[in-house]
Amino acid sequence: MKIAFCIFKYFPFGGIQRDLMKMVAESRSRGHWVRIYAIHWRDDGPLPDGVELKLAPVKALANHRLYERFADWVRADLKAEPVDLVVGMNKMPGLDAYYAGDSCYQDKARTQRSAWYRLLPRYRSLLRSERAVFDADADTEILTISDAQTPAYRRYYQTPAERFHPLPPGIERNRTAPADKGAIRRRMRAQLGVGDGECLLLFIGSGFIKKGLDRLLEGLNALPREVFAKTWLYVLGDDNAEPFERLADRLGIGEQVRFMGGRPDVPDFLFAADGFVLPAYDENAGMVILEAMIAGTPALVTENCGYAPYLREARAGLITPTPYDQDTFNAQLAELITSDERTDWARNGQALADDERIYQLAQRAVDRFEAFASRPALTGSGCQ
Over the stretch 213-242, which tens digit does the pLDDT of each residue have? 999 999 999 999 999 999 999 999 999 999
Beta carbons of 298 and 348 less than 8 angstroms apart: no
What are the backbone angles phi and psi of residue 338, rounded to the nearest 5°?
-110, -10
Query: Rounded CA gap, 282 and 275, in Å?
Result: 20
pTM: 0.91
- Given a cut of 90, is residue 384 above it in pLDDT? no
CA–CA distance, 10 with 44 (Å, rounded to integer): 11
The answer to whether 277 and 299 are in contact (CB under 8 A) is yes
Percent of the chain with pLDDT over 70: 98
Name which of 320, 310, 317, 324 is nearest 339 in CA terms.
317
Q: What percent of the chain has pLDDT over 90?
A: 92
Confidence class of residue 347 from pLDDT cuts 50, 70 and 90? very high
- The pLDDT value given to residue 377: 58
* Average pLDDT of the residues in 156-160: 98
Cα 328 to Cα 322: distance, rounded to the nearest angstrom: 11
Cis peptide before 169 (omega within 30 of 0): no
pLDDT digits (tens, 9 = 90+) for 59-113: 999 999 999 999 999 999 999 999 999 999 999 999 999 999 999 999 999 999 9
Q: What is the pLDDT of residues 178-199, one digit of tens each?
A: 999 999 999 999 999 999 999 9
Work out whether the CA dihedral 81, 85, 90, 92 comes out positive or negative: positive
Predicted pLDDT at 375? 80
Q: Which residues contact 89 (CB under 8 A, 6 or more apart)?
A: 5, 6, 7, 8, 16, 17, 19, 20, 99, 101
pLDDT tens figures, 22-45: 999 999 999 999 999 999 999 877
The domains located in the chain, with CATH, are 2-168+360-383 (3.40.50.2000), 173-358 (3.40.50.2000)
pLDDT of residue 380: 45
Helix axes 361-373, 15-29, angle to 10 degrees: 60
Supply the pLDDT for residue 85: 97
C-beta atoms surrounding 97 within 10 Å: 26
The answer, yes or no, to whether residue 152 has pLDDT greater than 90, is yes
d(CA 376, CA 297): 47
pLDDT for residue 310: 96
**Segment among 10-14, 264-268, 285-289, 297-301 with least mean pLDDT:** 10-14
Most distant CA atoms of the chain, gap in Å: 66
| Mean of the per-residue pLDDT values of the chain | 95
| Contact (CB, 8 A) for 67 and 8 | yes
How many CB atoms neighbour CB 345 within 10 A? 23
pLDDT at 13: 86
Segment 359-370, tens digit of pLDDT: 999 999 999 999
Model confidence at 379: pLDDT above 90: no
